[in-house]
Chains A and B, each alone.
Chain A
Amino acid sequence: MARITLDNLAHSYRSDPASEDDYALKELNHVWEDGAAYALLGSSGCGKSTLLNIISGLLQPSQGRILFDDRDVTHAETAERNIAQVFQFPVVYDTMTVRDNLAFPLRNRGRDEAYVAERVNEIARMIGMEEMLDRKARGLTADAKQKISLGRGMVRKDVNALLFDEPLTVIDPHMKWELRTQLKKLHHEFGHTMIYVTHDQTEALTFADKVVVMYDGRVVQIGTPEELFETPEHTFVGYFIGSPGMNLLPAEVEGSMARVGGQQIGLGRGYGPLSGKVEIGIRPEHARLSRDEGLPVTIRRIEDVGRHRIIRADFGGREINVIAGEDESVGPGMSRVAFDPARINVYADGWRVPGTA
Chain B
Amino acid sequence: MNKTLNNKAWFLVLPVLVLVAFSAVIPLMTVVNYSVQDTFGNNQFFWAGLEWFEEMLHEDRMWNALQRQLLFSAIILAIEVPLGVIVALNMPKSGIWSSFCLVVMSLPLLIPWNVVGTIWQIFGRVDIGLLGHTLEAMGIDYNYTQNVVDAWVTIIVMDVWHWTSLVALLAFAGLKSIPDAYYQAARIDQASRWKVFRYIELPKMSGVLMIAVLLRFMDSFMIYTEPFVVTGGGPGNATTLLSIDLVKMALGQFDLGPAAAFSLMYFLVILAISWVFYTVMTNLDKKGM
Contacts and interface: CB of A to CB of B under 8 A. Distances in A.
Say whether A and B bind each other.
yes
B229 to A, nearest CB: 43
Contacts, number: 60
Given A89-B179, A96-B199, A138-B289, A108 B190 contact: yes
A116 interface: no
Contacts of B200: 93
Interface in A34-63: 53, 56-58
B194 to A, nearest CB: 11
A345 interface: no
Given A87-B181, A95-B203, A95-B288, A108 B191 contact: yes
A234 interface: no
A265 interface: no
Interface residues of B, number: 18
Interface string A85-106: 1011101011110000000110
B263 to A, nearest CB: 41
A87 B179 CA distance: 11
Contacts of B288: 94-95, 136, 138-139
Contact of A108 (B184, B189, B203): B189
Given A95-B203, A95-B288, A138-B289, A84 B188 contact: yes
Contact of B185 (A57, A77, A87, A109): A87
A304 B105 CA distance: 64
A14 to B, nearest CB: 15
A193 to B, nearest CB: 15
A91 B185 contact: yes
Contact of A78 (B187, B192, B199, B203): B187
A309 B182 CA distance: 45
Contacts of A57: 187
B195 interface: yes
A192 to B, nearest CB: 14
What band does the interface of chain A fall in when counting residues whose beta carbon is under 8 Å from B? 20 to 34
B188 A78 contact: yes
A83 interface: yes
Contacts of A85: 184-185, 188
B208 to A, nearest CB: 15
B189 A104 contact: yes
A95 B196 CA distance: 12
B286 to A, nearest CB: 9
A283 interface: no
A152 interface: yes
Nearest to A138: B288
Contact of A87 (B184, B192, B195, B203): B184
Contacts of B187: 57-58, 77-79
A153 B179 CA distance: 18
B189 A83 contact: no
Contacts of A89: 179, 181
Given A94-B288, A108-B190, A149 B179 contact: no
B259 to A, nearest CB: 46
Contacts of B185: 85, 87, 91, 149, 152
A58 B184 contact: yes
A79 B190 CA distance: 5
B184 A152 contact: no
B192 A108 contact: yes
Interface string B163-203: 00000000000000001011011011111100100011001
Interface of B: 179, 181-182, 184-185, 187-192, 195, 199-200, 203-204, 288-289
- Ordered nearest first, which 8 A-B pairs have the shortest CB separation? A139-B289, A91-B185, A105-B189, A78-B187, A108-B190, A79-B190, A93-B199, A87-B181
6 contacts: A77-B187, A83-B188, A96-B199, A104-B189, A149-B185, A152-B189
